[in-house]
Every structure is written in structure tokens, then in C-alpha cells.
Amino acid sequence: PKERGWRTPFLYKYQNFWCQPREIQAIINLQTHFKAHRSDIIIATIPKSGTTWLKALLYATLNRGRYEIRGGGGFQSHPLLFSNSHDLVPFLEYKLYANGQIPDLGVFDSPRIFATHVPYPALPGSVKTSGAKVVYLCRNPLDTFISSWHFIKNVRHDSLGDFTMDRAFDMFCRGVVGFGPFWEHMLGYWKQSIANPNRVLFLKYEDMKDDVVPVIEKLAEFLGMGFSPEEEAAGVAAEIANLCSFETQKELEVNKTGKSISGFENWSLFRKGEVGDWVNHLSPEMGDKMRQVVVEKLAGSGLTFSGF
Ligand code: A3P
């Protein structure tokens, strides 16, 4: 199947999810050549659900012993003050396996951290069998849609043509969006997180916005590197939260002027960073329509959203 896309001229159905032709090539390349290690950590998201933030949090948590995070000016040399998190944690399909490349992953320090938008069933087999850890981040679909729409309007205004937000919303609700249907994407990882909680951690953007420190602590536990009493006393998780916050990251020079994902300027990755912004853009009827889709598609799964 093929549909006119709004993020891209056309979307095609590949292995039960929608994506662009160049993504299909990269995903086949990834599925064919990527060999996960037991120590790998894979971040998985749907576009616009907070990938940039999770990459930063995971990188900072994992490397907290390597770089001074504690206050008193020690912050200054941290890579997350000079690099966008997408430079530190590359996408498998957008960067490493894009354009027919077969990367040399031997150059990455262990544990390696990679990111992907690929749905769980389509991940390379070795991710599932190696014992690699997967951290999935989910966001309520109304905010994800609004974030996507603004992102595309900002960066692709010339290719939107006659596409209206109403039409894009309708497609989103039908599941026609990159890596969608979104409910299948979420449920794929949700079910794994229940069946294999030591291997798949399921996070929600809304919980992170509510209070990110306990989420950072949970992430550290999941990675087998929980915070020591000394780190707790020193407030290291709170320092990580500050370093990775929307306010800190948005104001960095690299995020005002840099370009870390091909085709996109870094500033476009930091819009509002809020929960519930959809009410400023969508009608109450559109909210109802999406809620109905969610109720129907997620029925019985136990997966719910706030800010919705
Ligand atoms: P909004 O468009 O709603 O503001 P992704 O990183 O997956 O592309 O998701 C982008 C969304 O995450 C955008 O949402 C962006 O503003 C938000 N975001 C980026 N960095 C963030 C941070 N440090 N904290 C909270 N939200 C962040």
C-alpha cells in the first residue's frame, strides 16, 4: 500500500508499518547487517515523542562517572554542553545504516547506545536475542501529532503544498504516519516491557515532565548502575535533569546554530516541550476523536496517557 504523506511525498507500508522509501532501504540494511551486543542499549521512539531528551538523559546517566556533572563549575566540560544529543547517540536507520552504509561499530565505546524509530517486530533479530537493553519512550498521541505538524511546518514548509492540518490529523488517526500506526508501535514495546521488564523499559514523556528525577533513577537501575548513596546525597540525578532540561539545551550555542540530523537544524528539535499543548491547536472534537481511537486500539492493554 501507498499513501500521499505530509512529512514526505509518499509513505509505503513495509513489514506492517508506514515509512518513506529511503527509510525502507536503510531499515533493510540495518536488519541485514546490525549485530547487537549484549551490552548495547537501544533507545526506541516514535518521531516527536521526546527522543532528543531521552538520548541526553541516557547518555548523561550512563557516562556520569566519566564527566564531572556535579555543580561548582564542573559542568563546563560535559559533552552535552557542546554537542546535540543526536551527535552522541546516533540513529541506526537515519545515520549509521543510511544511504547503503555499513558502519564500523568497533569505534564505539561499550556500552554502545543507539536509537531507532523501527517498531519492535521489525528490529534486527540480534537486538531481541542478544540480551541488549531497550528503552522505549512514549508520548500522548495528541501532543506527538502537534509536535510533528509544527516540526514539518518549520522545516518542510515548501513541500507541504495543499496539505492541511485537518487532513494530516485524519491520517494520523488512521495510523498513516511514519513508523505508525502509532498504537501498534507503542503496543509492540509495551507488551515486551511487560514480558521482559529487565530487557525493555517503557517510559512516558508525561511522567518525565512531571518529575524527571525518579525517571532518571529508574533508568539507572534498569541499566544496572543505580545511584549510590553518595551520588544521591550529592543530587547527581537532579544535576543530570538540569543538564538535559529543555531550558538548558534550547539555549546552547550548538542547539541554536548546529545541524545534527541531516536536513534538520537543531533549533527545530526544541519547540515548547510541554504536556497538553494540543489544546492550543486542535478542536475539542479532534481531541474526542483521538481519545476514541486510543480507547479502541489500546483496549485491554493497560497502557494509558495523561495530559490527554
Ligand atoms: P514539542 O514540539 O511539543 O515542543 P523528538 O526529540 O522525538 O523529535 O521530540 C521533539 C519534542 O520533544 C518537541 O516537543 C521538543 O520540544 C521536545 N523536547 C526536546 N528536548 C526536550 C527536553 N530537553 N525536555 C522536554 N522536551 C523536549
DSSP H/E element including 17: strand 17-19
Please tell me the chain's helix, strand, coil percentages from 3-state DSSP, rounded to the nearest 5.
50, 10, 35
CA distances from 153 to 51, 163, 261 (A): 19, 10, 17
Protein residue with least CA distance to atom 12, ligand 1: 50
156, 7 Cβ separation under 8 angstroms: yes
ipTM reported for the complex, 2 dp: 0.99
Gap from CA of 130 to ligand 1 centroid (Å) = 30
pLDDT in tens, 201-235: 999 999 999 999 999 999 999 999 999 999 999 89
Peptide bond into 284 cis (omega under 30): no
**What is the per-residue pLDDT for 9?**
66
Taking the CA of residue 249 as reference, the ligand 1 atom at the shortest distance is: 23
The finding on whether 52 has its CB within 6 A of some atom of ligand 1 is yes
Gap from CA of 32 to ligand 1 centroid (Å) = 31
240, 68 Cβ separation under 8 angstroms: no
pLDDT tens for the chain, 308 residues long, are 777 776 666 899 999 999 998 899 999 999 999 999 999 999 999 999 999 999 999 999 999 988 766 555 555 689 999 999 999 999 999 999 999 999 999 999 999 999 999 999 999 999 999 999 999 999 999 999 999 999 988 877 666 777 789 999 999 999 999 999 999 999 999 999 999 999 999 999 999 999 999 999 999 999 999 999 999 998 999 999 999 999 999 999 999 999 988 778 999 999 999 999 999 999 999 999 999 999 999 999 999 988 77
Give the CA count within 13 Å in the CB-facing half-sphere of 224.
9
Identify any residues that bridge with 113 across adjacent strands, giving them in sequence order. Answer: 41
Cβ neighbours for 82, distance < 8 A, ≥ 6 positions apart: 252, 254
Gap from CA of 49 to ligand 1 centroid (Å) = 7
Taking the CA of residue 151 as reference, the ligand 1 atom at the shortest distance is: 2
Protein residue with least CA distance to atom 2, ligand 1: 147
Q: Catalytic residue at 117? A: yes
**What is the per-residue pLDDT for 83?**
95
Q: At what angle do helices 236-244 and 51-62 cross, to 10 degrees?
A: 140
Gap from CA of 250 to ligand 1 centroid (Å) = 10
Angle at 289 between CA 288 and CA 290, to 5 degrees: 95
Taking the CA of residue 45 as reference, the ligand 1 atom at the shortest distance is: 7
**What is the per-residue pLDDT for 181?**
97
Cβ neighbours for 123, distance < 8 A, ≥ 6 positions apart: 42, 44, 116
CA distances from 255 to 40, 82, 196 (A): 27, 9, 36
Q: For residue 17, how far is the Cα from the chain centroid?
A: 17
Identify any residues that bridge with 44 across adjacent strands, giving them in sequence order. Answer: 116, 136
Give 264-269's long-range contacts (Cβ < 8 A, gap of 24+).
Answer: 264/155, 265/155, 266/84, 268/151, 268/154, 268/155, 269/52, 269/84, 269/86
Gap from CA of 162 to ligand 1 centroid (Å) = 26
Protein residue with least CA distance to atom 19, ligand 1: 270
Protein residue with least CA distance to atom 23, ligand 1: 246
- Of these residues, 33, 117, 150, 185, which one is catalytic? 117
Distance CA 50, CA 116 (A): 12
pLDDT in tens, 87-120: 999 999 999 999 999 999 999 999 999 999 999 9
Provide the 10 A C-beta neighbour count for residue 123.
Answer: 24
Cβ neighbours for 247, distance < 8 A, ≥ 6 positions apart: none
